[in-house]
Homo-oligomer: A and B are copies of this chain.
Amino acid sequence: MGSDGMDIGFLGLGIMGIAMARNLLKKGFNVTVWNRSPGKCEELAKEGASIGSSPADVVKKCSITIAMLADPSVAISVALGPGGVVEGITPGKGYVDMSTVDSATSSQIAKAIEAKGGDFLEAPVSGSKQPAEAGTLIILAAGSESLFAKVKPAFDAMGKKSFFLNDVGSGAKMKLVVNMIMGSMMTAFSEGLALADKAGLSQQTLLEVLELGAIGNPMFKLKGPSMISGKCPTAFPLKHQQKDMRLALALGDEVGQSMPVAAAANEIYKKARSLGLGEQDFSSVHQALTQEAANASDSAKAAA
C-alpha cells in the first residue's frame, strides 16, 4: 500500500518531527510543512516539501494534517491559538496529533476540531529519535476510526506498527502503562546488577546470561553496559520517567488497582531526583541504588 500522491500536512519539525516528515517525503507523499522557527522548513523544502505560512494555512491545503509538538501547552496553542488548526478545519478534514500529551489536553483539542466538523485522532508514539529516523515507531492511535483508516499509509511510512485503541485518551493511557512497566523493569534490573556486584559476581557476565534467557530484551542490552560504567547518555530523562510512574499510579488510584511494585520503584526514582539526577537518563536510577553502598565493607563488618 503506497502514498498514491496523498497530501499530508505536517506541523512541528523538532528532532522527532523532522525525521517523521522526511520519511513521508521518501515514501512519495506530498508534504506541506510548518514549524515555529522557519529554518527547518527550508531544509525539508530542499527535499521536496511545500511550506505553509501557518497551521491554519497547512490545514486548508491538505485533507489530513499531522502534528508532532513539544508538549501540551504547545499542542494547545498550535491547535486552538490564532492562525491555528481549528481556523482551517472544515467538514471532512482530519487532524492527527502525535505529540505526547495528557488525555485532558487531547480531549480539549478533539472537542474543538469536532465542533468544526473535522475528524480527530490522538496518536502518541513509543520510540524516540532513532526509531523516528528508521521509520520504526510504534503508533498508539485513538479517536476517529475512519481517519485512522485514511491516515494508515502515512503511519506505515513512519512506524513499524500502528494500533487503533478506540476513545480519545486511550493512546495516552496505553503509553503510561507501557512506561510504568518499563520503569519498574529498570529498577529490578538495577537491583540485580547491584546485587551481583556486591556478591562478587561479574556484572558483564550477568548481562550475557540475561540476554540469552527468557527475560532478555533490547533495553537491558542497550542500557546495561552504560549502567555498569556509570556513563548513561540521556535518551529519556529520569524526571520524565518518574512523572510517568506518578501518573500511572494516579491512574491506578482512580480505577482502584493496587500496584505495590510500581509504588516501590517510584520511590526510588523520587530519591534519584532528590539526589539531583532528574536531568540524567532514567537508567541513572542505578546510581541512587548503589550510592547507598558507600561504606559497604564497613557495614558488612558491622552486621557480622
Interface set of A (CB-CB < 8 Å, partner B): 126-127, 138, 140, 160-161, 163, 165, 167, 170, 173-174, 177-178, 180-182, 184-185, 187-189, 191-192, 194-196, 198-202, 205-206, 208-210, 212-219, 222, 239, 242, 246, 248, 251-268, 270-271, 273-279, 288-289, 292-296, 298-300, 302-303
Contacts and interface: CB of A to CB of B under 8 A. Distances in A.
B246 A273 contact: no
A119 to B, nearest CB: 21
B210 A181 contact: yes
A292 B265 contact: no
B191 A255 contact: no
B296 A205 contact: no
8 contacts: A161-B208, A188-B261, A191-B259, A214-B219, A215-B219, A258-B270, A261-B264, A278-B299
B268 A209 contact: no
A195 B270 contact: no
A54 B194 CA distance: 43
Nearest to A218: B214
B276 A302 contact: yes
The count of identical subunits is 4
Given A178-B210, A239-B303, A264-B263, A257 B138 contact: no
A260 B180 CA distance: 16
A106 to B, nearest CB: 15
A195 B261 contact: no
B180 A195 contact: yes
Contacts of A276: 294-295, 298-299, 302
A40 B48 CA distance: 72
A300 B183 CA distance: 21
